[in-house]
A and B are shown apart, each in its own frame.
Chain A
């Protein structure tokens, strides 16, 4: 079956612009996670949803970052007033529930802020 998909695969933007990154989880997975991975680092937790609600958003670095999952399926990560330090690969993962052992990751969106 289809895995987790993320669009776009690459995004280049200018400092100060607004960007949206999309994640389509595996069908039937109620938990959805966003991570950020910089070069040479492990994934850094940002936020996760159980259903439509954000169960833990404590990893969001500041109020320029926001994520939604209005119907409990697709999620969008929104970044306002982008900064060069936001450049990274943004990974999305999903799991059956938030107690599941295995998180299934998408290929990521590479964000470059010029």
Chain B
């Protein structure tokens, strides 16, 4: 059973069209929810960590939020350079400190 589920699998937006990506998790006790960006042929690049429900983090056009069961990555007025796969990962209290459970990602395409 997947512990981290992301939706949608793929999202196409016109430049400037805001939207949200969803990440739901079923880990037994959350010890951190992470967002990464991955460009084709590269390793993931860290964006945010969230720890508790109600927490929000922002970086340029991206804002990540966390509830008790899911996280959202809001993209405001996206640009073509925001096109990438966005990965969500969870750290579980029942696992070792370094282990992360990743979702399959949302492939975002922003066209001009």
Given contacts A31-B98, A44-B102, A59-B99, contact A107 B43 (CB under 8 A): yes
Please state if A45 and B46 are interface contacts (CB–CB under 8 Å): no
A53 to B51 CA separation, bound complex (whole angstroms):
28
Chain B interface residue bracket vs A? 20 to 34
Chain A interface residue bracket vs B? 20 to 34
Given contacts A40-B104, A44-B102, contact A101 B43 (CB under 8 A): no
Cβ-closest chain B residue relative to A41: B104
Cβ-closest chain A residue relative to B88: A42
Given contacts A55-B96, A107-B41, contact A42 B105 (CB under 8 A): yes
- Within the complex, what minimum Cβ distance (angstroms) separates B38 from chain A? 8
- Within the complex, what minimum Cβ distance (angstroms) separates B40 from chain A? 11
Binds B, one of A14-22, A66-74, A77-85, A91-99: A91-99
- Within the complex, what minimum Cβ distance (angstroms) separates A44 from chain B? 7
Given contacts A101-B49, A102-B46, contact A42 B32 (CB under 8 A): no
A39 to B58 CA separation, bound complex (whole angstroms):
29
A25 at interface (Cβ–Cβ under 8 A)? no
A103 to B104 CA separation, bound complex (whole angstroms):
18
Which listed residue (B41, B43, B100, B101) contacts A4, Cβ 8 A? B43
- Within the complex, what minimum Cβ distance (angstroms) separates A9 from chain B? 9
A48 to B32 CA separation, bound complex (whole angstroms):
18
